[in-house]
Amino acid sequence: MAYALLLLVLGASWPFGTNIAAAEQTQKLTVQKAVELAKTGNPSLLAAESRVRQEQGRLVQAQSSRLPRVTLSLGFQGLNEALTYHAYDKGGTPIGIVPAGYEKTYQAALTLKQVLYSGGTITSRIQAEEFLVLARQAERDRVAQRVENGAQAGYYGLQRAIAREAVALEALNLAEEHLEQVKIFHRTGVVAKNEVLRVQVAVSTAQLNVIEARSHVQVAWKQLERVTGHSLEGNYIVAAGDSELTDLVVDEDPLSRALAMRPELKALAASEKAARKMVQAAKGQYLPQVGLTVEGRLYDDTFFPSQNEELLVGIRVELPLMDSGQIHGQIVEHSALAEELLYGIEDMKREIALDVSKTKVSLDSALQKVLVAGDGVVQAEEDYRMALKRYQANVGTNIDVLDARLALIDTRNAKIDAIAEARTAYADLIYAMGDR
């Protein structure tokens, strides 16, 4: 009992009912391990990684526009008979038949195409895609932070449920010990039968509390498994908690850090820059588009053709004279998108300020609750000890013992809740700052 009381005073959580042999076969689950498992099995994070790869594929497509393109083409043409024409001398006398082609013609061609000048359109599109890749990466980072925050919240919720189960078990032990003592008093004629019945009701209530606490533990395991995407219950044990909370180091200016670190701001800023680059790409279409084409051909009446070589070199210049407003519409569209993203950045800054403020207040409140609840546990333990001594000395009442034990249970649960709330609030603050 002394060991259990020590764990409860420290706000510890331990999966009671697990034997030593089973514990040796399972692994110790820490909050860091829970986060690691969540990042390897969470579908939201995997989907975010896929979106990054999609954007990287679009970047490769954009980059290919400014590089040479080489194609090989093969052709075949069959006629009823070979084309010919008659040849005449200067006097108009037929002198023979000249072949104009083959009855069966095989052709092979190697073509190279290269953009020489695009008015900056291709370069701007490539730069836009590079910014969009950065935006998708920032969004992925935020998803990873959300997964990490969810794993931490689930872990602390599990610790809370296990600790409350330990309190319920200890309360049941205390109630059963008190019942045995009251029965002895009743057999010796010190107390009436109703005193025994009252304590039996307290024992039944304690048993119901244990059942409820155990169900909460099972639910907490399932919630953590939902976040991590792994089967945990039976494979891991939860380490004892720490009520000192000495590792909760808060940044001196969390808002400034949040404005510098939040991935959403980075994603919006990168998207806004991408929209500006798309405006430049659209404007570049007003300028001449110059391309080079080089093609070498071979054709013959056998496959693979090896005769009749031809080399074609061409330069193409395109200049839009009238597009009925298509380019102008693109400029307006992307300019408006850039403005929308700028407004989105300002709105996000306000939302971040609210998130940081709320989580900071929640953390401060939770830390104060831990201190108050800790003092309450000490006082409740002393009150219960004194009430039990008075009852044993027949100078106190059974109701005093029951009330003192109820107060002790409530204060212990309050401290457990405060510790879990403080750690969750700290994780929420880190999440609000966009830090890891």
Q: Are 401 and 374 in contact (CB under 8 A)?
A: no
Query: What is the reported pTM?
Result: 0.77
Where exactly are the structural domains of the chain? 2-66+122-285+330-433
Peptide bond preceding 304 in cis form (omega within 30 of 0)? yes
111 strand-pairing partners: 71, 295
Residue 254 pLDDT > 70: yes
* 301 or 25: which leads in pLDDT: 301
Listed residue (253, 51, 227, 40) closest to 138, CA to CA: 51
Which amino acid appears at position 176 of this protein?
A: E
Q: How many helices (H) and strands (E) does the chain have?
A: 10, 8
- pLDDT mean across residues, the chain: 85
| Span 156-184, average pLDDT | 88
Instruction: Give the whole-angstrom CA distance, residue 238 versus residue 55.
Output: 40
CATH of the domain spanning 2-66+122-285+330-433, picked from 3.50.50.60, 3.10.180.10, 3.40.50.2300, 1.20.1600.10: 1.20.1600.10
Long-range contacts of 329-334 (CB under 8 A, 24+ apart): 330/278, 330/282, 330/285, 331/279, 331/282, 331/283, 334/275, 334/276, 334/278, 334/279, 334/282
Which amino acid appears at position 387 of this protein?
A: A
Length of the chain equals: 436
Per-residue pLDDT tens digits for 292-346: 999 888 877 666 666 677 888 999 999 988 889 999 999 999 999 999 999 999 9
Residue with the two structure tokens 């890891």: 436
